[in-house]
Structure 1
Amino acid sequence: MTLVPTIGLVRGARAFHRGIGAFNVIHVESAEALVQAAEDAGRPVILQLSENCVRYHGSLEPIARAMLAIAESSSELVAVHLDHAEDEELARSAVDLGFGSVMFDGAALPYAENVAATRRVVAYAHRAGASVEAELGVIGGKDGAHAPGVRTDPGEAAAFSAETGVDALAVAVGSSHAMTERTASLDLGLIAAIAEAVAIPLVLHGSSGVPDETLQAAIRAGMTKINVSTHLNAAFTGAVRATLDEQPALVDSRRYVAAGRDAMAREAARLVGLLSPDLRSPDTDSLDIRTTDLPATEGSDAP
């Protein structure tokens, strides 16, 4: 069993100025592909399940239990995380199921409401040994949520993290969700300024649109958790499409889905190696990434 707390992987990567890949699960085959990628690369990975994906499957528990089982069966270190949950009850349910971390996304709320709601989620999660990621401001993309050029303010990020007690913070530094071309330009100076101001690991959402060398530069500047979804989905879908084009009479879905799974595993393994250290190498032997050390946080369980 190698299911480990998310916070251990994230803090371990941050301590050695490296990144940790956090990749979104869409279905069982993508979870299998991402765990295979971790094993092939010999490095840890974080599996993420979004609120949108929960909605697609109709409920949290079946796909969540499948993810947890796949993670537990891996020979590599794997953490399981709930991504972009705007529903406090969903975040609590993920904690109850055994997720190592949840992201509560209250970015669309007024600042004071975001702080209050995030504190409630943090209090609940910390009592169960789970960590919490939050978002300050809105990462662009999908719904055009903010105009180009909007960025996270380092001072506000420091105040928000202190007020909420979150364990990681997603910040707006130039990336955008759902990009299919890797052309995003990040504000590396701003990343460094936020990393200097905030004592917790930083998270880059929308990393699918960021070129390899820019991702590595962002990690050097202070980014830690690197979220990728669309780029890996494109690898999966491209392989499915190619297989069906080559074999138009094919009707066994296992055949073309397997091609997608293999393609996703290959590209995810490449990204894992690009972003993440081997956290069990000699220079990290003193770091116990299997445990949590989360502070008690005052707050209410009430929705």
Structure 2
Amino acid sequence: MSLATTGELVTRAAAAHSAVAAFNIITLEHVEAVIAGAESAAAPVVLQVSENAVRFRYGRLLPLARAAVTAAERAAVPVALHLDHVQSDELLRQAPGAGFSSVMFDAARLPYAENLAATRTAADWAHGQGMWIEAELGEIGGKDGRAPLDAHAPGARTDPGEARAFVADTGVDALAVAVGSAHAMTRRTATLDHGLLERLSAALPVPLVLHGSSGVPDDGLVRAVARGITKVNVGTALNAAMTRAIRDFLAAHPEAVDSRKYLGVGREAMAREVARIIGVLGAGRSSPTAPANPS
């Protein structure tokens, strides 16, 4: 199957009042697990490479990107590539040539006016390359080891009026909103502000994106999709599944040295978690975004 674009997958999900799952990948095992899980659920999926993942791979985007493109082109379901949480202008400009159809440009750390100006420049460039662009307003805490913001701290939540102006002035195609989730949560204890999410959905003409979804309980994800979330980002949940499986395997087989054995167990655990999350989001076999006869 040919490589899909993030824009078309999100647009179809929005029309179906559903959400497309977007999983952050770090290794080839992540790539294979996400695609296997999506195929099991007969649903489209987005593979995301973050700037942090590129840094982990010695600052080189192409090796992981090329592997992801090759695997996506052989998948039985639509798969798109998305470059996530990009702050580097140099990395942003590598995206089109590496197979990415979309990018999340992250200037949310900046004051509002600077965020707007930087995002507008990035959006103009991305659209000139035919790319779909996501931005963030408000602060979804927990990234790079930072603690989540207090619920009442300035900037901890996305303001609907400010968000409407931000989208109009930047021209972005989607907006990641701060409604109570946080990155890197290993416990599913986040409580989303569903009232705020409803107001944001009513105020904005673009799809809404939920970051930090690994910390949100299943019922919270279901309610978020019902209130307008159209793209759900997941990263930590896959790493946790992989790590648990490998720890259990090595505890039971302390003599093991063949990395294929424990990496295979970890890959299978991630694939199961991918299929489970897609099922929670309602993007499984009954979804109109899924192919009619996946092979």
User: Cα offset for 1:145?
Assistant: 6.0
Which of 160, 165, 187 aligns to 1:159? It is 165
Residue 192 of structure 1 corresponds to which residue in structure 2? 198
Residue 183 (str. 1) matches residue 197 (str. 2): no
Which of 237, 250, 267 aligns to 2:243? It is 237
SS at match of 2:184: coil
Residues 193-212 of structure 1: pairs in structure 2 closer than 5 A: 193-212=199-218
User: Cα offset for 1:144?
Assistant: 2.5
Tell me which moved more, 165-174 or 9-18.
9-18
Determine if contact 2:92/2:103 at 8 Å carries over to the other structure.
Answer: yes
Determine if contact 1:81/1:102 at 8 Å carries over to the other structure.
Answer: yes
Distance 1:124 1:68 in 2: 23
Residue 120 of structure 2 corresponds to which residue in structure 1? 119
Residue 269 of structure 2 corresponds to which residue in structure 1? 263
User: Cα offset for 1:32?
Assistant: 0.5
Distance 2:148 2:228 in 1: 25
Residue 148 (str. 1) matches residue 151 (str. 2): yes
User: Cα offset for 1:75?
Assistant: 1.1
Residues 71-86 of structure 1: pairs in structure 2 closer than 5 A: 71-86=72-87
Distance 1:41 1:235 in 2: 18
The one-character-per-residue Cα deviations of 1:16-74 (angstroms, maximum 9, x if unpaired) are: 21111111101111010000011110000111011000000011111111111111111
Residues 6-17 of structure 1: pairs in structure 2 closer than 5 A: 6-17=6-17
Distance 1:86 1:249 in 2: 43
Amino acid aligned to 1:144: A
Change (3 A) 1:33 1:48: same
Residue 62 of structure 2 corresponds to which residue in structure 1? 61
Residue 216 of structure 1 corresponds to which residue in structure 2? 222
Q: Report the count of equivalent residues.
A: 284
SS at match of 1:245: helix
Q: Percent identity?
A: 54
Determine if contact 1:176/1:205 at 8 Å carries over to the other structure.
Answer: yes
SS at match of 1:47: strand
Residue 98 of structure 2 corresponds to which residue in structure 1? 97
Distance 1:18 1:110 in 2: 32
Determine if contact 1:13/1:279 at 8 Å carries over to the other structure.
Answer: no
User: Cα offset for 1:95?
Assistant: 2.2
Residues 267-282 of structure 1: pairs in structure 2 closer than 5 A: 267-277=273-283
Residue 299 of structure 1 corresponds to which residue in structure 2? none
Residue 132 of structure 2 corresponds to which residue in structure 1? 131
Determine if contact 2:44/2:289 at 8 Å carries over to the other structure.
Answer: no
Amino acid aligned to 1:241: R
Amino acid aligned to 1:272: I
Determine if contact 1:134/1:170 at 8 Å carries over to the other structure.
Answer: yes
Change (3 A) 1:2 1:198: same
User: Cα offset for 1:148?
Assistant: 2.8
If the length of structure 2 is used for normalisation, what is the TM-score? 0.92
RMSD in angstroms over aligned alpha carbons?
Answer: 1.6
Determine if contact 1:95/1:102 at 8 Å carries over to the other structure.
Answer: no
Residue 293 of structure 2 corresponds to which residue in structure 1? none
Residue 24 (str. 1) matches residue 24 (str. 2): yes
Residue 168 of structure 1 corresponds to which residue in structure 2? 174
Change (3 A) 1:215 1:256: same
Determine if contact 1:208/1:231 at 8 Å carries over to the other structure.
Answer: yes
Amino acid aligned to 1:40: S
Distance 2:121 2:96 in 1: 13
Determine if contact 2:65/2:99 at 8 Å carries over to the other structure.
Answer: no
Change (3 A) 1:147 1:84: same
User: Cα offset for 1:284?
Assistant: 6.6
Tell me which moved more, 80-89 or 194-203.
80-89
Amino acid aligned to 1:213: D
Distance 1:284 1:174 in 2: 28
The one-character-per-residue Cα deviations of 1:238-290 (angstroms, maximum 9, x if unpaired) are: 11111111110000001100000000001111111221435996x679xxxxx
SS at match of 1:133: strand
Distance 1:130 1:205 in 2: 20
| Runs of 4+ displaced beyond 2 Å | 144-150, 276-281
Determine if contact 1:43/1:273 at 8 Å carries over to the other structure.
Answer: no
User: Cα offset for 1:2?
Assistant: 3.0
